[in-house]
A and B are shown apart, each in its own frame.
Chain A
Amino acid sequence: MLNRRSFLKKSAVVTAGAMLLPAFLKAYQNDWKGKTEFKDKRLIILQLTGGNDGLNTLVPFEDDIYYQKRPRLAIPKQELIKLDELQGWNPAMQPLQTLWEEGECLILNAVGYPDPDRSHFRSMDIWQTGSAANEFWSKGWLGRYLEELPQTKPYTAIELDNQLSLALKGDKMAALAVNNPKQFKRQLNSPIIQALLEQQHAAEHEQLAYLYQTLGETESSANYLMEKAQLYTSSGDYPKTGFGKDLKQMAELIAAGCETQIYYASLTGFDTHANQKNKQAQLLGQYAQAVAALRQELRKAGEWENTLIMTFSEFGRRLAENGSGGSDHGTANNLYLMGGGLKKAGIYNAPASLSQLDQGDLIYDIDFRRVYQAILSDWLQGDAQAVLGRSLPKLDIF
């Protein structure tokens, strides 16, 4: 392992300047067992945890009601990044301006679901499972997608975290929670775990066989990811935060040809009941900078065209600001799709009405499960009906 790494480093020096992937990788393809390039479509899910205020992310600057209801929170028109005649981005989103201008972003307004739940936990579960508000599902929508795939590996989906989200849970354990491969590998370093891995075990006991197999898979995945992680070191300008590191890690794995189809990462802190302005700007800035850096690296690696990034939050926030310079839990929200291979770009539908509300909250226009359906069937070429358990009106976005 050590030798391979130093060998690769040396070779890189010899082929000076050829550090960039994937050309570099291809030259050593024979070193690898099986496929080293990922040819399918890739999906990245970015979750803004806590309920991001969509109305202050994408501001409906032509609507007076927005300014009336938010005397302290509203962002003046002249500070916004105008996206079209009606809506403009929070200035903190500036790092993504180029991406927008190059037609690599599709924004859906007023995405939500019927009978919205305003509890973080419940609404997050609804989004992560794709259930209706009155259904309780114990498997995630991506977990069920993985179950439908004919062939998976434990790392077919990776969450940059040390615990798996419900979204990725299913019977087929094809998703892995990994902070970074080194740390992941280190977890297996205890003498007892090492001994267990060497141990021949009885396979006749069903549950024991399952547990030992899971442990074995963890190790082989850790080894695989370590090998990949050593191939490419990112030089992108990511924020030096947990989320920044997660996206950097993601870029490295993608650029190294990791056969992972789905990546999942979260940025938390959006529950801005008080002093929202600075807090949200800081978070959005972090998000935008990280995504911009990821885009740049994937473009260099030739992996941007086959990548789709979906960004969502468990709910948006109430139209009227509260008394503490913040906003309270709301309902429908904007949803972002980004990537180099989008068929449609721009703003898909009209902004949510601010005059017709349900208990002070925005009324949804697009059911989020229609977005899942489009992603599953038209981007991933999967069986959306089987995954979602229902068929919804088609959303023509890909």
Chain B
Amino acid sequence: MKTEEKIKQLHLRAGFGLRPEEWAQKRKEPLKQQIAALFKQTEAQPFAPLAFAYPEDPKSLSKEKRRMLRKKSRKLRKQVNNQWIERMIRPKKESPLLDKMALFWHGHFACEPKLHHHAEEYLAAIRQHALGNFKDLLLAVSKSTAMILYLNNQQNRKKKPNENFARELMELFTLGRGHYKEQDIKESARAFTGWHCNAQKAQFKFKERQHDAGSKTFMGQTGNFGGEDIINIILQQKRCAEFLAEKLYAFFVNERQPNKKHISALANTIYSSNYDLKVSLRFLFEAKWFYRPEHLGANIKSPVFLLVHLARILDLQAENEQAWIQPQQVLGQLLFKPPNVAGWPGGRSWIDHSLLLMRLNLAAAIFEKTNIVFRPKDDPKAAGRGKGFRKLAVRANLAPLNKLCGQEKDILAELSDYLLLQAPKLSAPNFQAYLSLAQTKEEKIKAGSLLLLSTPEFQIC
């Protein structure tokens, strides 16, 4: 790869792409320095808590009041979603890598928090530990109200163990299918009995009376294990580091072609660093093979990434609280609502004929009503069909783009350099016809960027 390509690759994978002013500055900086910068601010800046406290004793309320309460809370969950998207677009002090990693963890620890403060707690956990130690992260997620409820650990009791959490812990969070026995699930489920939560307060609660303190045999070791012991034993398995390396490789490097040698090198780093995520990711971004040409554009942007990337390029502001939610729903990745505990399948599953058309029209829908109706699938809880939209409820600010291209003679080439990994051929007469409509420099910048943002080339990263 050329140096500029390496820089683009780094920021597309380790973040959400560069804003115009960032590109102007970073395209000339040494790569090493840019990698180092990603690891400087790795502490999550918290969100302002939502101005609504869930009552501690909702049972004293009438049934109708409780229903309203839940409804209000579900609505507020959208605000948590919005806060997070806003933070991806405009990070406070934190490295963009932090929220990119948090997004990865949200897919990895896929979970649907039902109430707003459950979402807040869960999100705080995956952001706080996004670049910390995997063990702390795993513990924090396992103890979050959202996950305890989602995987039924609230029903995991001494006399009647519920295996749901134990199974997914191994199958989806740490080892992958085929690397544990059914007996390991049964035994570890017992170790997690009593890991409950106070759903009103969104707080972890260890219920000693429900905990099975007896002896368990798990992966060849025997003892009166509790949940944390099980997690320790799992992390001792090299397989856990390999499993993480496979998933990180697909997300950050190449989702189409896994390279066994490189995955194994990453797994070794994860394991020898004792699951230190900063060390592991730094190894990844510093590896020569990360910049191999075959990885350029090998992945398809997830809907959230696509949206945030557009918002960063065009400095978008939401006009209402649905502005970020609607495109997520339509394009198939609504935060806090993964399809199931296995997360979003990703890759080419983001694309079918109609989804591609919507994605190609997304940039146009920022500026005008499009020919396409963006409508999500029917909500089974709704009384009828949803309406959909033709324009996004956002406002663009092209000043940064104008500044970037203002001095340039060949605006299209400059834009293409900034926006895309691979310049499309623009020889079709219609392209020229479209571009020739623009008269002033600013019109040309707007038309040119809209054109490039509407290409298949912009869909890949």
Please report A residues at the B interface, Cβ cutoff 8 Å. 49-51, 120-122, 124-125, 134, 136, 138, 154, 161-166, 169, 171, 173, 175-177, 179, 183, 186-196, 198-202, 205-208, 210-212, 214-215, 217-218, 221, 242, 266, 268-271, 279, 314
Q: Mark B371-389, 1 if CB is under 8 A from A, else 0.
A: 1110111111111110010
Q: In whole angstroms, how far apart are the Cα atoms of A214 and B357 in the complex?
A: 9
Is B430 within 8 A of A195, CB to CB?
Answer: yes
With both beta carbons as reference points, the residue of chain B lying nearest to A313 in the complex is identified as B380
The listed residue (A49, A177, A189) touching B353 by CB distance below 8 A is A177
Is B377 within 8 A of A212, CB to CB?
Answer: no
Is A207 within 8 A of B460, CB to CB?
Answer: yes
Q: Which of B135-143, B223-231, B340-348 contacts A (4 or more CB under 8 A)?
A: B340-348
Q: Which of B14-22, B302-310, B447-455 contacts A (4 or more CB under 8 A)?
A: B447-455
Is A215 within 8 A of B360, CB to CB?
Answer: yes
Q: Which of B239-247, B280-288, B421-429 contacts A (4 or more CB under 8 A)?
A: B421-429
With both beta carbons as reference points, the residue of chain B lying nearest to A166 in the complex is identified as B339
Q: A136: which B residues are within 8 A, CB to CB? A: 339-342
- With A176-B353, A206-B256, A218-B353 known as contacts, the answer to whether A193 contacts B454 (CB < 8 A) is yes
Q: B450: which A residues are within 8 A, CB to CB? A: 192
Q: A188: which B residues are within 8 A, CB to CB? A: 357, 371
Q: A190: which B residues are within 8 A, CB to CB? A: 361, 364, 370-371, 454
Is B422 within 8 A of A207, CB to CB?
Answer: no
Is B349 within 8 A of A138, CB to CB?
Answer: yes
Flag whether B459 is at the interface (Cβ < 8 A).
yes
- With A125-B340, A162-B354 known as contacts, the answer to whether A205 contacts B297 (CB < 8 A) is yes
- With A122-B340, A218-B356 known as contacts, the answer to whether A242 contacts B456 (CB < 8 A) is no
Q: Mark B115-138, 1 if CB is under 8 A from A, else 0.
A: 000000000000000000000000
Is B380 within 8 A of A51, CB to CB?
Answer: yes
Is A269 within 8 A of B371, CB to CB?
Answer: no
The listed residue (A125, A165, A269) touching B384 by CB distance below 8 A is A269
- With A138-B349, A195-B428 known as contacts, the answer to whether A268 contacts B382 (CB < 8 A) is yes
Is A192 within 8 A of B356, CB to CB?
Answer: no
Is A195 within 8 A of B431, CB to CB?
Answer: yes
With both beta carbons as reference points, the residue of chain A lying nearest to B352 in the complex is identified as A164
Q: A177: which B residues are within 8 A, CB to CB? A: 352-354
Q: B381: which A residues are within 8 A, CB to CB? A: 50, 120, 271
Report the minimal beta-carbon distance from B170 to chain A, rounded to whole angstroms. 14
Interface size on B, as a range, is 35 or more
Q: A202: which B residues are within 8 A, CB to CB? A: 422, 425
Q: B352: which A residues are within 8 A, CB to CB? A: 164, 169, 173, 175, 177, 214
Is A199 within 8 A of B376, CB to CB?
Answer: no
Q: In whole angstroms, how far apart are the Cα atoms of A169 and B424 in the complex?
A: 29
Q: A183: which B residues are within 8 A, CB to CB? A: 373
Q: A51: which B residues are within 8 A, CB to CB? A: 380
Report the minimal beta-carbon distance from A214 to chain B, rounded to whole angstroms. 5
Please report B residues at the A interface, Cβ cutoff 8 Å. 167, 256, 297-300, 330, 339-342, 345, 348-349, 351-357, 360-361, 364, 370-373, 375-385, 388, 422, 424-431, 433-434, 450-451, 454-457, 459-460
- With A122-B340, A199-B425 known as contacts, the answer to whether A163 contacts B431 (CB < 8 A) is no
Is B380 within 8 A of A120, CB to CB?
Answer: yes
* SS class, residues of chain A in contact with chain B: mixed
Is B370 within 8 A of A215, CB to CB?
Answer: no
Is A214 within 8 A of B356, CB to CB?
Answer: yes
Q: In whole angstroms, how far apart are the Cα atoms of A355 and B131 in the complex?
A: 55
Is B427 within 8 A of A211, CB to CB?
Answer: no
Q: A314: which B residues are within 8 A, CB to CB? A: 380
Q: B370: which A residues are within 8 A, CB to CB? A: 190
Is B380 within 8 A of A208, CB to CB?
Answer: no
Is A198 within 8 A of B430, CB to CB?
Answer: yes
The listed residue (A200, A217, A270) touching B425 by CB distance below 8 A is A200
Greatest chain A CB density within 10 A among B256, B352, B376, B383 is at B352
With both beta carbons as reference points, the residue of chain A lying nearest to B331 in the complex is identified as A163
Is A210 within 8 A of B371, CB to CB?
Answer: no
Q: List 22 A-B contacts (CB under 8 A).
A: A138-B342, A162-B388, A163-B376, A164-B352, A164-B355, A177-B353, A177-B354, A189-B371, A190-B370, A192-B454, A193-B357, A193-B454, A195-B426, A195-B433, A195-B451, A199-B424, A207-B256, A207-B297, A207-B299, A207-B460, A215-B456, A279-B383
Is A199 within 8 A of B371, CB to CB?
Answer: no
Report the minimal beta-carbon distance from A321 to chain B, rounded to whole angstroms. 16
Is A207 within 8 A of B364, CB to CB?
Answer: no
Greatest chain A CB density within 10 A among B345, B364, B456 is at B456
Q: B345: which A residues are within 8 A, CB to CB? A: 138
Q: A201: which B residues are within 8 A, CB to CB? A: 424-425, 456
Report the minimal beta-carbon distance from B244 to chain A, rounded to whole angstroms. 19
- With A195-B428, A196-B360, A212-B456 known as contacts, the answer to whether A169 contacts B434 (CB < 8 A) is no
Extra inter-chain contacts (5) besides given A195-B431, A207-B460, CB under 8 Å:
A164-B354, A192-B451, A193-B360, A199-B426, A269-B384
